[in-house]
Chain A
Amino acid sequence: MSNRKKQLLILAAIAVIAGLLPELVTDVYLLNVVVLTLMFAALAQSWNILGGYCGQISLGHALYFGTGAYVTSIMFTTFGVSPWVGVFAGGIFSAALALALGYPCFRLKGHYFSIATIVIAEIGLLLVHNWDAVGGALGITWPIGQDSWWTLQFARDKAPYVYLALGLFIATWLSTYWIEDSRWGFWWRAIKDSPEAAESLGVEVFRSKMAAAALSAFFTAIGGGFYAAFVSYIDPESVMSFRFSLLFALPAVLGGIGTLWGPLVGALILIPFTEITRSYMGGFGNGLDLIIYGALIIVISLVKPEGILSLFRDRAKRGARS
């Protein structure tokens, strides 16, 4: 499988380039954008496991992101547990949550499943909002301390966060890469294309969806835990709002849903663009980015439902034929 080896080489090249960025870029704002781009690439990659490969479009992944952020923050601020442990605890907790929610939700098909995910995430947001033990509407502030790899707190230097976000992206990418060629990966894609045919071929449809949901939620929560450490302050809106659910799905859809590189390509376009519009057009209020996302979704689904990556594939094919 030389083609698969080639993919690994591309990843290595991207890792080297991204890893060198903190050496070349010193501007804190720009490094911030780099961190967010890599983080959302990783989160879109996680979303892509369930939404892209298995075809179960979740618009409620903010719930898992928020869960990861909260578990990590509470464990650190209340019990002094390192976020290195906290993110994994959050990941496992979210995976369990995904299984518990998947049990009823995976009986729903298509749009009904997507609607259920939106509703459940909103319920989660309301719960956390009114739950004083986890900070309620005020949220949780991480204590200011020494810069340290143990607490993942770096006040002046953004470079460690670039490395962490890059590590997270590589972990999600490698998992996807490995699973893509495994039985699970084949089962997921079969379910996406035709659940009836999949079942007739011995595919464990329900179990496969549950596995995809658990893995997807696991990585999403790790991303949430990382984000909490990165921003050092979380409240319900800033980690669990619907905006995040969109921001996980959109890069994957934009770049190429159900593909290995779609999430990264989408994030490279979308996140810098989002950050720039937010900083320059912040005065227009909070809704503007949501309007842009909505418009983007409409444009993609009308013009190129397979995503941007398919443009290159089409061109390569045409070149090969002529």
Chain B
Amino acid sequence: MSCDNILEIRNVTKRFGGLTANADVTIGVKRGEILGLIGPNGAGKSTLFSMIAGALPATSGSLSFAGIDITAKPGTLRCKLGIARTFQVPRSFDSMTVLENVMVGGFMRTPSSQAARRAAEEMLDFVGLGGRADIPAIELTPPEKRRLEMARALATGPKLILLDEVMAGLTPSEAKAGVELVRKVRDLGVTIIMVEHVMEIVMPLVDRAVVLHLGRVLADGKPAEVVRDDRVISAYLGERHRAT
């Protein structure tokens, strides 16, 4: 594997009792790319995400980030090293205002409230929530909550950000704005791994797509190649559609 990979996932397996959620997954993520992680429901995408972020330990295999072995490192430390994430079901801090939510991320880099507040304000402007800074986070709409999660994650100053279905449930115009935002994040120099269901959104956006199926890597390549892959088509649509 080349050394310009920011994240190396090597032979990672995750078992929950008898259920194998991820089996022998090996993926290298290049610095600065947008990697799409796709696959049908239950393919093991979110489990893999949680293992990268440190919310779940891997049963076997290893993970290294920017040359550091992070297999046994807790989530807090991975965040310090530069891995940030959003959640599939947004987990905003509902007793806080929007700005305060993002400040929690900002405190990752500074113990000073003033500096964290400034960083948070910048990030809110960046994701387009600048006008909503002082309302309680609980009053945000679902698409706004996803932006909030992105602002919060970005405020920690990550090198790699994991976006877990940030486009889910968005209207076409909201999704378009979402795509713009993801591109803007990449332009900051942040490497992105995104889990997404909706192929039409992911495929034009990502540099590379990895398809997971039943916990294994089924295909790994350029989006255009991946969608033509027979195994991918049958995994998504079933055997019946393969020949057509």
Show the binding face of A for B, using Cβ within 8 Å: 181-183, 186-187, 189-190, 192-194, 196-205, 258
Contact = CB atoms under 8 A, between A and B. Distances in A.
B156 to A, nearest CB: 6
A194 B76 contact: no
Contact of B105 (A189, A201, A258): A201
Given A183-B116, A187-B107, A197 B91 contact: yes
Contacts of B74: 199
Given A197-B152, A200-B53, 16 more contacts: A186-B107, A189-B93, A190-B93, A194-B93, A196-B55, A196-B91, A197-B92, A199-B55, A200-B85, A201-B105, A202-B80, A202-B107, A202-B156, A203-B104, A204-B76, A258-B95
Chain A interface helix/strand/loop/mixed = helix
26 contacts: A183-B111, A183-B113, A186-B100, A186-B103, A186-B104, A186-B107, A187-B104, A189-B100, A192-B95, A193-B93, A193-B95, A196-B91, A197-B91, A197-B92, A199-B54, A199-B76, A200-B75, A200-B85, A201-B105, A201-B155, A202-B76, A202-B80, A202-B105, A202-B107, A203-B104, A205-B76
B69 interface: no
Interface string B105-122: 101100101001000000
B193 interface: no
A201 B85 CA distance: 8
A193 B91 CA distance: 8
Interface string B20-62: 0000000000000000000000000000000001110000000
B87 interface: yes
Contacts of A183: 107, 111, 113, 116
Interface size class of B (residues with CB under 8 A): 20 to 34
B79 A202 contact: yes
A231 B187 CA distance: 67
B94 interface: yes
Contacts of B53: 200
A202 B108 contact: yes
Q: Which 6 A-B pairs have the closest CB atoms?
A: A202-B79, A193-B93, A202-B108, A197-B91, A194-B91, A199-B75
A27 B54 CA distance: 62
Interface centre among A182, A186, A202, A203 (most CB of B within 10 A): A202
Nearest to B93: A193
Interface string B142-169: 0000000000110110000000000000
B232 interface: no
Contacts of B79: 199-202
Given A203-B76, A205-B76, A258-B95, A198 B104 contact: yes
B84 A201 contact: yes
B159 to A, nearest CB: 13
Contacts of B96: 189-190, 193
Contacts of A205: 76
A193 B113 contact: no
A111 B180 CA distance: 43
B151 to A, nearest CB: 11
Contacts of A204: 76
